Amino acid sequence: MGKTNPAKVAQLKPKKKCCKKSTRCLRCPVVIHRMKKVDADQLSKKAANKALKKARAA
């Protein structure tokens, strides 16, 4: 995952196609959509990390 801020994932530009791997990448359209749905800007850092981990799990 690296140093990416989980609250900023919803603003990333998605890739054209979903990779469908067991752990999705950060720029996967599915992950970005799930993070927009959760509204990560309003969450604490710990809750945002947990939401990102759940969004990336396939």
CA nearest neighbour of 29 among 3, 1, 55:
55
C-alpha to C-alpha distance for 25 and 55, rounded to whole angstroms:
10
Q: What is the pLDDT along the chain (58 residues), one digit of tens a residue?
A: 567 888 888 888 999 988 888 899 999 999 999 999 988 778 888 999 999 999 999 6
Instruction: Count CB neighbours of 1 within 10 A.
Output: 12
| Spans of all domains in the chain | 24-58
**pTM of structure:** 0.82
